[in-house]
Amino acid sequence: MKHKILVLGVMLSCLLCFTGCGEQQDAKNSIDTNRYAPEQFNDDSMRYVVNYFENDSFEKWFLSDITPENFEKELYLKIAPASENDDQYNVIRKGYDSWYKAVDQIGYNSLETLENDINVSDVTYNMNNKGQLVVTGIVEGTKHKAEMVIYMDNRFNVTDIGVTAEKTLGEKLENAGLNTLMGMGMAFSILITISLIICLFPLIQKLGTKNDKKTIAEKAIDNTVGQIAEKEDLSNDAELVAVIAAAIAAYEGSGSTDGFRVRSIRKVNSNWKKF
């Protein structure tokens, strides 16, 4: 019993340690007053920032047919000159791209009613463990809610903007199921491919062995022919030709050829006389 209590105590201690190592954030709607002026960074100003980007910028750009593809062409000269470099322009462009991809999931009835269908319902802010001010606006549409997260420094410069649509539990489970099926399908496809390759190994080996045997046989024949050619004695070919020529000359009634003389061969009686 004491052993079980000791193990339980160690587990609780580990959990507390992991909890303490997690991301530490300040309380809701609070700022670091040493770095952020309270009179400037308050509830009203934070709500103004979120509404400025959501209602006054992103929605109006969307209704003006501004897309991530033509964003630079249409808005660069309106945004970039207001800052010393392109950092603010790039942040706003990235934020609009994120909002543009999420707007269909947030939902609206039509372009004519979009400004009324999508609204900011709540705004909170706090300091994260990196000392950054994080402003979170809840954007509600006809389908889903979304979080617009804005990071700001103490000079009111926006360093990052992201919009993420929230999904219902059913949608999350559906996506998880689809991902699981896709993963299993891919795994089975790989296994089937590997199995087919393994099944082809014997056939490939037989073809290779057959080709090797054929090559060996051809080499053996070539070697045999070569050896016969090397060992063949052609020294008597000249005499054979001369003899054949003399025989032909005698048959035709001509004289001897090259010193060869052909004599008639008499048939010898094989019946011997008995004495």
> Please, are residues 159 and 151 in contact by the beta-carbon 8 Å criterion?
yes
How many C-beta neighbours within 10 Å does residue 214 have? 10
The confidence score (pLDDT) of residue 47 equals: 96
Report the alpha-carbon distance of residue 42 to residue 45 in Å, rounded.
Answer: 5
Tell me the per-residue pLDDT of 231-257, one tens digit each, with 9 for 90 and over.
555 455 566 667 677 777 666 665 555
- Contacts (Cβ under 8 Å, ≥6 apart) of 45: none
Residue 108 has pLDDT above 70, yes or no: yes
Asked if residue 261 has pLDDT above 60, the reply is no
Element (H, E) at 31: none
Mean pLDDT (the chain) is: 79
Euclidean distance between CA atoms 271 and 275, whole angstroms: 12
Task: Note the pLDDT of residue 2.
Answer: 52
Q: Is 15 left (phi over 0), alpha (psi -120 to 50) or beta?
A: alpha
Q: Does pLDDT of 272 surpass 60?
A: no
Higher pLDDT, 145 or 265: 145
Closest C-alpha to 79, from 69, 88, 67: 88
Q: Comparing 143 with 213, which gets the higher pLDDT?
A: 143
pLDDT digits (tens, 9 = 90+) for 51-67: 999 999 999 999 999 99
pLDDT at position 23 is 44
Percent of all residues in the chain with a pLDDT value above 90, rounded to a whole number: 43
Q: What is the CA radius of gyration of the chain?
A: 50
Quickly state the pLDDT bin for 24 (edges 50, 70, 90). very low
The pLDDT value recorded for residue 85 is 84
Starting at the edge strand that comes first in sequence, how are the strands of the sheet with 133-140 ordered? 119-127, 133-140, 145-152, 158-165
Tell me the average pLDDT across 199-220: 69
**Cα(184)–Cα(70) distance, integer angstroms:** 40
How far apart, in whole angstroms, are the C-alpha atoms of residue 178 and residue 185? Answer: 10
With a CB cutoff of 8 Å and minimum separation 6, the contacts of 260 are: 242, 243, 245, 246
